[in-house]
């Protein structure tokens, strides 16, 4: 069987002339079945530039060597088993494996290798623990032997003491006999005296031996206690080693999740690592960018441009149908309108006449700003002055379903002054003050005033890199209020007056219809609307029936929910009994998973905690119908639903429902995964 593919043609320059005195080198980039990495094959075209090579399957770097010039790297080619013969140009222009193979898949493969190494380490730890247990058992045996020896020593000491007592008794008897002999015979006096001295000496020695034996017995008792303590310590060490071995040797299959059946990183592209979604993707081949068909491309659309903050903190504009990726993942927002006009002309933001704008521009992070300076006519005054405002007749309509207005901006100053966000209502003929949110520009302390102060919420945060302070305030309308307007104002410090030279830099002023801030909308001479982000993949090959498990990261940009149930993901136009909804409950603020039974009734599993800003969110749905959610690694109790799955003709929607913005998330999702199996709670322990 032929294991090579013919690459042949004519090597020409840009003018179509054959290139002479040139060598074509193919350097293997990796091992294949027949080629070793880094080996080099050469071909010398003839005078007419003709070349022909039979090239083995593999991946090669193409290098051109021309006399009098340094080596030139022409690119990389990949020769497959099913590659057709062609020219070198054909192979150089084809997309290689590296062009279409996601880097994240390589990272996952490395993770799998790491898991294997960890499993081997766990096995070694278990063996070491077993050895420790064996050593501990030996220690216990040695301690028992020591205890036995100590007992024998004690017995020997007792025997020695008894022998000493017997010797003392014998000595006493000898002394008595000696005295009797002395009385019986004067001739034996000297002998008796010597016997008595000898007996007394023997008695002294016996007494000393008795004391020594008693001391030996005491020491033996101490040795026995020490041996018992050593045995106890050894036994405890063995127990600890056994527990450590059990923990370390726990199967990694129960901790690390397997490769998902559906995997969408949502970090910088719409590419899927695993799963199915037909579409087109852009890839770069040399200096050219081309569209190629792909079966792993998330569907995305938006009918307008939109801004976002990239991962370097810069304000950028995404074109129509271009997704927006920020630090927290894919940004998904519903439709909103900015009622503050002339975004790119700070002097036309609706300032008061006694407020000067001597400086405007765009900073290095892309923010268009104006420096608003109080002119000297304001010195000594205590009132607040407009920097940006909307006309009463252009106020936000709150007579219908929308009952919220949110005003936001970026500002900075080194002066001890305040920024004030004011709300008023317009009844068609006159405006009436509602309430203010005061922000201390140095301490960032917030204070609410006015009759509607209880209906106003505000937040502020500083970006230390850009220096901009982001402020937002939201007011809730009540019955009878038709339109609400807003102003962004300079105000002197609390209890103070305007000082000559007081200023505030202001950027991205926005007044929008809704209970939370959204991305900045660049406006012109009239109110400007940003369209909804629509994101989806088909259910085909991605979600079918129980069991399944999903997990993702979610980030929200709000405290007050933007609608009744902001969606994380759901099934579009689901048939009765096929609905699956992952969302946030507006009333409780908790994440929940909802499945429907054949009669269309919903069963919910909800998290026990409210997440502040970001969390991981998943659900384990078992084959028997029991399911429960897991948030930031915390699982809840199971509930039951007879869920029969979903047909292949539906779509999974992410972060919203329709182009009018109902149920939109106004936040980010990333690292979405589905497994067509039941995982365990430990495998969903991810936290953010």
188: which DSSP letter? G
Q: Is residue 515 part of a domain?
A: yes
Smallest CA-to-CA distance from 421 within 484, 495, 343 is with 484
Q: For residues 44 and 126, state if they share a domain.
A: no
Q: For residues 10 and 47, state if they share a domain.
A: yes
Q: For residues 352 and 499, state if they share a domain.
A: yes
CA atoms within 13 A on the CB side of 282: 5
Expressed as residue numbers, the domain containing 196 is 104-254
* Phi, psi values for residue 504, rounded to 5°: -145, 130
Choosing from 231, 254, 277, the residue where a domain stops is: 254
Dump pLDDT digits (tens) for 4-40.
999 999 988 888 888 888 899 999 999 988 899 889 9
Choosing from 94, 118, 144, the residue where a domain stops is: 94
Q: For residues 356 and 498, state if they share a domain.
A: yes
Per the structure block, which two tokens stand in for 371? Answer: 């420096």
| Dist CA 180 CA 163 (whole Å) | 26
348: which DSSP letter? G
Mean pLDDT per 10-residue interval, the chain, length 688 residues: 83 84 90 89 89 92 83 88 90 67 53 55 51 51 48 47 46 46 43 48 51 56 62 68 56 82 98 97 86 96 98 98 98 98 98 98 98 98 98 95 98 99 96 98 98 98 97 98 98 98 99 98 98 99 98 97 97 97 97 98 98 97 99 98 97 96 96 98 95
Pairing of strands 469-476, 325-326: unpaired
Pairing of strands 602-606, 591-596: antiparallel
Which CATH number goes with the domain that contains 350?
2.60.120
Judge whether 302 and 531 are in contact, CB under 8 Å.
Answer: yes
Q: Would the pTM count as exceeding 0.75?
A: no
Can the peptide bond before residue 57 be classed as cis, meaning omega within 30 degrees of 0? no
| Dist CA 398 CA 324 (whole Å) | 30
Collect all residues with Cβ–Cβ distance below 8 Å to 150 and sequence separation of at least 6: 220, 221, 223, 224, 227
Q: Is residue 268 part of a domain?
A: no
Q: For residues 526 and 542, state if they share a domain.
A: no
List Cα–Cα distances, 636 to 590, 622, 647, 656, in angstroms: 12, 14, 28, 25
Dump pLDDT digits (tens) for 423-437.
999 999 999 999 999
DSSP element (H, E) containing 9: strand 4-10
Q: For residues 491 and 588, state if they share a domain.
A: no
Judge whether 647 and 578 are in contact, CB under 8 Å.
Answer: yes
Q: For residues 524 and 551, state if they share a domain.
A: no
Q: Please tell me whether residue 558 adopts helix, strand or coil conformation.
A: coil
The predicted pLDDT at position 16 comes to: 83
Q: For residues 515 and 539, state if they share a domain.
A: no
Q: Is residue 316 part of a domain?
A: no
Collect all residues with Cβ–Cβ distance below 8 Å to 619 and sequence separation of at least 6: 549, 550, 582, 593, 605, 627, 628, 629, 630
Q: Is residue 200 part of a domain?
A: yes
Q: For residues 54 and 142, state if they share a domain.
A: no
- Count how many domains the chain has: 4
Q: Is residue 572 part of a domain?
A: yes
Q: For residues 503 and 612, state if they share a domain.
A: no
Q: Is residue 617 part of a domain?
A: yes
Per the structure block, which two tokens stand in for 668? Answer: 């980010």
Judge whether 485 and 424 are in contact, CB under 8 Å.
Answer: yes
Q: For residues 78 and 131, state if they share a domain.
A: no
Q: For residues 454 and 554, state if they share a domain.
A: no
Smallest CA-to-CA distance from 78 within 68, 69, 88 is with 88
CA 563 to chain centroid:
27
Which CATH number goes with the domain that contains 60?
2.60.40.1120
Q: Is residue 317 part of a domain?
A: no
Collect all residues with Cβ–Cβ distance below 8 Å to 535 and sequence separation of at least 6: 298, 299, 300, 323, 330, 332, 653, 654, 655, 656
Per the structure block, which two tokens stand in for 85? Answer: 């013969």
| Dist CA 150 CA 217 (whole Å) | 9
Which CATH number goes with the domain that contains 552?
2.60.120.200
Choosing from 530, 560, 592, the residue where a domain stops is: 530
CA 478 to chain centroid:
40
Q: Is residue 297 part of a domain?
A: no
* Phi, psi values for residue 592, rounded to 5°: -150, 160
């Amino acid at each position: 069987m032929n294991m090579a593919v013919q690459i042949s043609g004519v090597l020409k320059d840009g003018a179509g002339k054959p290139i002479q005195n040139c060598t074509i080198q193919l350097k293997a980039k990796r091992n294949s079945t027949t080629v070793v990495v880094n080996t080099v094959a050469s071909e010398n075209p003839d005078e007419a530039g003709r070349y022909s090579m039979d090239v083995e399957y593999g991946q090669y770097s193409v290098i051109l060597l021309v006399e009098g010039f340094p080596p030139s790297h022409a690119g990389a080619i990949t020769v497959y088993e099913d590659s057709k013969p062609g020219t070198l140009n054909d192979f150089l222009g084809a997309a290689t494996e590296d062009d279409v193979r996601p880097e994240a898949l390589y990272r996952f493969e490395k993770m799998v290798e790491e898991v294997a190494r960890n499993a081997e380490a766990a096995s070694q730890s278990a063996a070491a623990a077993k050895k420790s247990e064996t050593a501990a058992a030996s220690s216990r045996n040695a301690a028992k032997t020591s205890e036995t020896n100590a007992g024998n020593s004690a017995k020997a000491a007792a025997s020695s003491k008894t022998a000493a007592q017997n010797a003392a008794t014998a000595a006493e008897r000898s002394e008595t006999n000696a005295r009797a002999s002395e009385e019986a015979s004067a001739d034996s006096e000297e002998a008796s005296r010597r016997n008595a001295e000898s007996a007394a000496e023997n008695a002294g020695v016996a007494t000393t031996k008795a004391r020594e034996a008693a001391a030996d017995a005491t020491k033996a008792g101490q040795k026995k206690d020490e041996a018992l303590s050593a045995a106890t310590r050894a036994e405890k060490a063995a127990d600890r080693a056994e527990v450590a071995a059990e923990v370390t040797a726990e199967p990694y299959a129960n901790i690390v999740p397997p490769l998902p059946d559906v995997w969408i990183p949502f970090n910088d592209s719409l590419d899927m690592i695993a799963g199915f979604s037909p579409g087109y993707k852009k890839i770069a081949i040399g200096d050219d960018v081309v569209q190629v068909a792909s079966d792993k491309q998330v569907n995305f659309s938006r009918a307008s441009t939109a801004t976002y903050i990239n991962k370097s903190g810069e304000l950028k504009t995404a074109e129509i149908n271009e997704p927006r990726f920020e630090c927290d993942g894919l940004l998904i927002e519903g439709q909103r309108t900015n009622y503050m006009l002339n975004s790119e002309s700070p002097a036309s933001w609706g300032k008061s006449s006694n407020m000067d704008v001597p400086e405007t521009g765009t900073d290095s992070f892309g923010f268009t700003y104006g420096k608003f300076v109080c002119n000297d006519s304001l010195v000594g005054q205590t009132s607040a002055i407009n920097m940006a405002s909307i006309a009463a007749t252009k106020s936000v309509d709150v007579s219908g379903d929308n009952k919220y207005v949110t005003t936001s901006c970026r500002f900075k100053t080194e002066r001890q002054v305040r920024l004030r966000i004011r709300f008023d209502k317009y009844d068609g003929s006159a405006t009436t003050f509602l309430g203010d949110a005061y922000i201390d520009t140095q301490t960032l302390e917030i204070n609410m005033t006015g009759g509607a102060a209880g209906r106003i919420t505000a937040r502020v945060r500083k970006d230390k890199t850009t220096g901009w302070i982001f402020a937002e305030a939201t007011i809730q309308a009540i019955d009878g209020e038709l339109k609400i307007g807003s102003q962004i104002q300079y105000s002197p410090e609390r209890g103070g007056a305007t000082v000559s030279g007081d200023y505030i830099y202001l950027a991205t002023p926005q007044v929008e219809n809704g209970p939370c801030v959204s991305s900045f909308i660049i406006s012109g001479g009239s109110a400007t609307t940003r369209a909804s982000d629509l994101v989806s993949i088909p259910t085909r090959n991605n979600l079918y029936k129980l069991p399944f498990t999903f997990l993702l990261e979610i980030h929200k940009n709000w405290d007050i929910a933007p609608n009744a149930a902001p969606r994380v993901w759901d099934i579009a136009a689901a048939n009765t009994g096929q609905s699956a909804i992952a969302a946030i409950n507006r009333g409780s603020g908790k994440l929940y998973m909802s499945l429907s039974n054949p009669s269309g009734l919903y069963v919910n599993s909800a998290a026990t905690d409210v997440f502040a800003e970001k969390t991981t969110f998943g659900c384990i749905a078992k084959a028997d119908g029991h399911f429960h959610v897991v948030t930031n690694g915390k699982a809840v109790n199971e509930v039951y639903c007879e869920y029969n799955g979903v047909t292949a003709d539906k779509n999974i929607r992410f972060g919203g429902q329709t182009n009018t913005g109902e149920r939109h998330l106004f936040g980010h999702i990333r690292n979405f995964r589905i497994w067509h199996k039941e995982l365990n709670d430990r495998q969903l322990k991810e936290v953010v």
